[in-house]
Structure 1
């Protein structure tokens, strides 16, 4: 694919002063964290760090440190609590009007006052720009935003939405300065201005950011108590390079994402000065389908794939103890989970698949290309897709090839509908079953799928959002999952576990990565050597 590359201007005086210690004591050194997330500005996606566009875990982890939200999910999870807000609550019993009052004296990092008008501007801006990356869909239940004075904001919703507080805790609802962000245009490049716990400076090589330095914001007022003055996030091409950096003490911590071989090695053969910790995870992986593509337009083809694929064998071969099979969109540790794909298709059932194709009069072998991204989910992805290919070919019902593409080209192509079958992962925006259903099935969804189920979109999803007691919505989510298993617009494969590794003088590691893969860099500190 031809694409226009955005070449960003150099950042003056960037690296040397940022990496210099701000004092003579050991604790003044920046804590350095490694990641395999990639940050690229391209012609297709020139504004990766604009809250109106950003909608992946890596870019959101940059924004969480720098752009304040009204609420945030506290350490350890649970219901969102006030962050930039002093208090927030529904002001009606139908969950259709949500009121927040800002903390007094809020300012942006440059000292400009932060008021209710900035909150309204930021939310309205996301909805107006409505970028094709799908982030605006999180605010789809907002009808109007009203301000009352400098500190009070009221969100009037177009339908009941008990999940709305969670949505306000995500970076799409980040509070921006209208003097820094145009109302109808994305802000290109890697610069971020906000009122969060840190200010940001980025180093980039052409269109790719390689380092982000977060410096404590002295004007910050909110619920977060940073345990350090400076953190640096370095992007590595793969987990192997990141691991070598940890061993050589170039970095203090490996976050997203360790390979399963690294986890095995660090667990079974611990290295001096390095410790590894397992963190509960809510990541899922799945195959998505362009249901209008000729090769998979027939539902029986997608159903047959669901029957042929052996998730247990896939996980054992590729991911070992770092993953487990998944038989619905909602993972096992989230309320509303069920196993309709196992009940409907089993695992590796070739006879079931053949019967489905015969009944639909589908000629075999069905020719398919499985598309995956080479640089977004880790080095095992290529092996995963080779394993899927071999399972499908072994059934003699499919003739399969695989194709890998870099994320900066893969994601735009997937959104355009270029791929009939593609692999993606999902890290939840917030730990609620709604966020495993709406991004795939609601209007303006993350996938841009042509699949529409009116019962889900018009009745079941709105019904689930009326339940303030989220556990009470479980029967509705189980009904939705049965529909997904019958129609197979997406095919869940596995859910993952998370691991972090760090040098043993770094505190706060167990809290620095949440179940939703949010990096909380403010939790990290260096143990005193005094």
Structure 2
């Protein structure tokens, strides 16, 4: 039958759970096959793509989540983090500066080696020690010391209050790894991943490129997750069109990251026989980043003029249709403490206002620069998006811009080294909280390796926001952060996306297998009838 399914799981803290499906039957032999357009490769610049101390990419995190266990995790349907590898976790002081976890009894790695508090300490300390400049160290940088107590307890002493710390312990960089397989001071090269998570993983690699990942249920797993299948295969495809054809031919059971906007809109208009389309809330954003030390964009007047000229609505509608909407803040709608700070400052696109801004600052026009984007990381519409952005800027007469695409394997190292004055990036949240849309970009040791630094944000506002266990109580603080970003424009938000997943009718658990934060949870998938 023709079938279109629109399912909206809960966004943490905002929506009540709307489904209580318990998943389908066990896979009973046949592997569930999921497709992805994420590419996993190793190179001289990225020799250790799957090391939790290095990886800071949604696609790779989705591999690590299946294999490397964390102390806490976000429960099905959303909410505050709950114990995973731990039996219990809690702050032990009123200032949210000391966090204690007790490990589950009998916890082992997949090879049977016991998991100890020392392993937890070792795993997280190596992220801090390796301190990869493009890695996730910023998530854990507030840890002062890690203390082990007895046979099953670990205590994290934080430098400053951080009510979001339980969320950070649920992210892959806080994953528990084995000392004999992961060096203390250097990354583990290659594609192998070992942990105590719900699956073991076997990579199939050709010419330093992953062609298949096979996830097999870990019989030694002890944790909070219920695993509804025995085996899942993940197959990378060169583009969304190839992945879609594989689904049509029933060579895969589900399309994950990333369907094209055209595919989603076609399936919404004309459902395909035997295939269901599931829509989820999306918390992913797209934005422009600036190397604020580059001579072309060092003067914030140039960045403000770009913010004044671009037409987000046109980009969202012409390139992404119903799958995206304009975004006027780093914190997207659907997340607590969102404000439309850029619209409040700049209003609708206005070339004359942009011209006055540049003239007042003594900037000669047209301002010339290259608008960089990645060709193979955020989906097939990226090229059209950046060509339209360049067209908008050039049409103003104030800029002379060309759009230039580069594969992600070269793009990300070049961006983090400061080689691009203006560049496009996407962001999938580390966890559903306003902190993850601000600190990774604006704090010390930030994800972008950006030279931009606001003393007010780094020294006062971010620490202040983290003292609030009630996240809505930090509204004024986050409003100030968003207003500073709109004034200084170290980053320029463009759009916020929706998520669509296409799958065969017989596949169950799809609505739980991808969260609003784009986290992939393969253990939720099964075959048969959902109950």
TM band (smaller chain): over 0.9
**Counterparts of 1:22-41 in structure 2 under 5 Å?**
27-41=28-42
1:122 aligned partner? 123
Cα 1:26/1:424, change in 2 over 3 Å: closer
**Counterparts of 1:87-166 in structure 2 under 5 Å?**
87-166=88-167
CA contact 1:311–1:347 (8 Å) conserved in 2: no
1:4 aligned partner? none
2:432 aligned partner? 431
For 1:485 and 1:185, the matched residues in 2 are separated by: 38
CA contact 2:28–2:230 (8 Å) conserved in 1: no
SS in 2 for 1:39: coil
* TM-score, normalised via structure 2 length: 0.94
Cα 1:479/1:528, change in 2 over 3 Å: closer
CA contact 1:27–1:527 (8 Å) conserved in 2: no
For 2:280 and 2:27, the matched residues in 1 are separated by: 28
CA contact 1:27–1:528 (8 Å) conserved in 2: no
2:181 aligned partner? 180
Find out whether 1:75 has 2:76 as its counterpart.
Answer: yes
SS in 1 for 2:28: helix
**Counterparts of 1:446-461 in structure 2 under 5 Å?**
446-461=447-462
- Following superposition, the deviation at residue 130 of structure 1 comes to 0.7
CA contact 2:365–2:399 (8 Å) conserved in 1: yes
Q: Which has the higher relative contact order, 1 or 2, with Cα contacts under 8 A spaced 6 or more apart?
A: 2
2:358 aligned partner? 357
SS in 2 for 1:244: helix
For 1:179 and 1:27, the matched residues in 2 are separated by: 34
Cα 1:262/1:460, change in 2 over 3 Å: same
Ranges of 4+ aligned residues in structure 1 off by more than 6 Å:
none
2:198 aligned partner? 197
1:306 aligned partner? 307
SS in 2 for 1:431: coil
For 2:494 and 2:211, the matched residues in 1 are separated by: 31
Find out whether 1:494 has 2:495 as its counterpart.
Answer: yes
RMSD of the alignment, in Å? 1.1
CA contact 2:124–2:174 (8 Å) conserved in 1: yes
CA contact 1:142–1:158 (8 Å) conserved in 2: yes
1:129-148 CA-partner distances (Å, limit 9, x unpaired): 11122311100110000001
1:88-113 CA-partner distances (Å, limit 9, x unpaired): 00000000000000000000000000
1:516 aligned partner? 517
CA contact 2:53–2:135 (8 Å) conserved in 1: no
CA contact 1:290–1:417 (8 Å) conserved in 2: yes
2:17 aligned partner? none
1:290 aligned partner? 291
For 2:346 and 2:446, the matched residues in 1 are separated by: 26
1:171 aligned partner? 172
For 1:259 and 1:75, the matched residues in 2 are separated by: 27
For 1:58 and 1:340, the matched residues in 2 are separated by: 30
For 1:173 and 1:378, the matched residues in 2 are separated by: 28
1:239 aligned partner? 240
Unaligned runs of 5+ in 1: 1-24
CA contact 1:285–1:424 (8 Å) conserved in 2: yes
For 1:454 and 1:528, the matched residues in 2 are separated by: 55
1:127-170 CA-partner distances (Å, limit 9, x unpaired): 01111223111001100000011200000001101100000000
1:403 aligned partner? 404
1:16 aligned partner? none
For 1:339 and 1:389, the matched residues in 2 are separated by: 24
For 1:251 and 1:125, the matched residues in 2 are separated by: 37
SS in 2 for 1:221: coil
- Following superposition, the deviation at residue 264 of structure 1 comes to 1.1
- Following superposition, the deviation at residue 528 of structure 1 comes to 6.8
2:376 aligned partner? 375
For 1:210 and 1:375, the matched residues in 2 are separated by: 16
Find out whether 1:45 has 2:46 as its counterpart.
Answer: yes
1:22 aligned partner? none
For 1:99 and 1:374, the matched residues in 2 are separated by: 43
CA contact 1:199–1:215 (8 Å) conserved in 2: yes
CA contact 2:27–2:230 (8 Å) conserved in 1: no
* TM-score, normalised via structure 1 length: 0.94
For 2:206 and 2:192, the matched residues in 1 are separated by: 14
CA contact 2:243–2:255 (8 Å) conserved in 1: yes
- Following superposition, the deviation at residue 277 of structure 1 comes to 0.9
SS in 2 for 1:131: coil
- Following superposition, the deviation at residue 204 of structure 1 comes to 1.1
- Following superposition, the deviation at residue 356 of structure 1 comes to 0.5
For 2:274 and 2:38, the matched residues in 1 are separated by: 25
1:217 aligned partner? 218
For 2:106 and 2:27, the matched residues in 1 are separated by: 34
CA contact 1:134–1:444 (8 Å) conserved in 2: no
- Following superposition, the deviation at residue 26 of structure 1 comes to 7.3
1:161-187 CA-partner distances (Å, limit 9, x unpaired): 110000000000000111111111111
2:324 aligned partner? 323
SS in 2 for 1:385: helix
1:254 aligned partner? 255
1:7 aligned partner? none
- Following superposition, the deviation at residue 206 of structure 1 comes to 1.1
- Following superposition, the deviation at residue 352 of structure 1 comes to 1.1
1:295-345 CA-partner distances (Å, limit 9, x unpaired): 101110000000000000111110010000000000010011001111111
CA contact 2:27–2:228 (8 Å) conserved in 1: no
